[in-house]
Amino acid sequence: MSLLSVAGFTNLGYWLHARNFEPVAADLEGQTVVITGATGGLGRAAAERIAGLGARTVVVGRSPEKLRAAEDEIAGEVVGYEADLSLMSEIRDLAGELLEREERIDVLVNNVGVLLPEREVTGEGIEKTLAVDLAGHFLLTNLLIPRLAASAPARIVNVTSGGMYSERIRPRDIHFERGEYKGAVAYARSKRGQVILTGMWAERLAGTGVTVHAMHPGWAKTAGVAQSLPTFDKLMRPFLRTPDQGADTIVWLAAAPQPAAESGRLWFDRSPAPEHLVDRTRETAGERQALWDGLVKLTHSDVPAEIGRSD
């Protein structure tokens, strides 16, 4: 079975790929791992396993009740931070709290994401899929890069989606205003943007001790999938991965030795994966830079010049 075949994204694919996986046995005692969207689904599964490796595990979410549940139910040192990650103002407040309260940040997992049936705009005037799935990741990461660099060796893990294989980035239509809005397309374009940013961050952070990787989890059974893609969830339910299976590569990228030796890769089931399956999704160098520049303008943030190369 091809690693990226349709069947490869299912629980059967995970079972076949995982036959030779070694348990992630890293000791993360003394390290701090920040995971966004960590009160359910893949984020919660990753938090449980990372806390089990001894890390101080920072879970970020919107719901105070779910944050308290994560703190109470996950074994290990778990602390919750409340923030609406669709709002750049709350992301700035979150980053300020993290920088004030967390002496080190060894791993940042950008996991939070939304897939919306209709186009929505946040109170700050940003299309919501863009805000949550791309601009928010860009802002939070850039704000935390100085602490990550000071804690180096450190890692950034971006959770993308196999859906990004179907779309090309459109930096001139970053708010998805042109043509009919399709939630799955907006989601896929934002996830494509995540992969592009992964490579660009890796270039800018070369030599700092901060590595950057992206991963996609295959098709996992989560509340988000059931809500956003109910027909897909109903048809594919017997073949969907568990959240723990979907989160496996997140944990591996956060803790295993191999990913620390390289940067800027896309991974699927602990193996390097191509960024494109068809030529029509390939972006130009100009489009990559336009995406970066557009996000800088939108979020008023960039990689600090004293940390890495900033264009």
CATH number of the domain within which 285 lies: 3.40.50.720
Distance of CA 293 to the CA centre of its chain: 20
pLDDT of residue 264: 97
Residue 158 CB neighbour total at 10 angstroms? 25
Q: Once rounded to an integer, what is the mean pLDDT over residues 11-29?
A: 92
In the predicted model, what is the mean pLDDT of the chain?
93
pLDDT of residue 4: 59
Q: How confident is the model at residue 232 (pLDDT cuts 50, 70, 90)?
A: low
User: Quick check: 82 pLDDT over 90?
Assistant: yes
How far apart CA 241 and CA 245 sit, in angstroms, is: 6
pLDDT, one tens digit per residue, over 101-154 is 999 999 999 999 999 999 999 999 999 999 999 999 999 999 999 999 999 999
Q: CB–CB of 34/107 below 8 Å?
A: yes
Q: How confident is the model at residue 1 (pLDDT cuts 50, 70, 90)?
A: very low
Indicate whether 310 belongs to any domain: no
pLDDT of residue 65: 97
Q: CB–CB of 148/154 below 8 Å?
A: yes
Q: Once rounded to an integer, what is the mean pLDDT over residues 72-85?
A: 98
Indicate whether 8 belongs to any domain: no
Residue 14 CB neighbour total at 10 angstroms? 24
Structural domain boundaries, residue 76:
31-299
Indicate whether 117 belongs to any domain: yes
Indicate whether 63 belongs to any domain: yes
pLDDT of residue 305: 82
Which residue has tokens 């009160």?
A: 39
pLDDT, one tens digit per residue, over 246-256 is 999 999 999 99
pLDDT of residue 224: 65
User: Quick check: 226 pLDDT over 60?
Assistant: no
pLDDT of residue 8: 84
What SS3 class is residue 79? Answer: strand
pLDDT, one tens digit per residue, over 261-294 is 999 999 999 999 999 999 999 999 999 999 999 9
Structurally, how many domains does the chain consist of? Answer: 1
User: Quick check: 53 pLDDT over 80?
Assistant: yes
| Closest C-alpha to 91, from 99, 83, 100 | 83
Which residue has tokens 């995982």?
A: 18
Catalytic, 81? Answer no
Indicate whether 20 belongs to any domain: no
Q: What is the pTM of this model?
A: 0.94
Residue 262 CB neighbour total at 10 angstroms? 11
Sheet holding 210-215, edge to edge: 78-82, 56-61, 32-36, 107-110, 154-159, 210-215, 265-268, 271-272
Q: CA torsion 21→25→28→29, rounded to 10°?
A: 170
| Closest C-alpha to 263, from 207, 221, 216 | 207
Indicate whether 244 belongs to any domain: yes
User: Quick check: 229 pLDDT over 70?
Assistant: no
pLDDT of residue 61: 97
Indicate whether 188 belongs to any domain: yes
pLDDT of residue 9: 87
Kindly name the residue from 14, 81, 165, 187 that is annotated as catalytic: 187
pLDDT of residue 94: 98
Percent of the chain at pLDDT exceeding 70: 92
Comparison of pLDDT for 297 and 230, the residue scoring more: 297
| Closest C-alpha to 50, from 157, 162, 194 | 157
Indicate whether 24 belongs to any domain: no
Q: Once rounded to an integer, what is the mean pLDDT over residues 17-24?
A: 93
List all residues 6 or more positions away from 218 whose beta carbon is below 8 Å from its beta carbon: 8, 9, 10, 13, 14, 162, 241, 245, 246, 268, 269
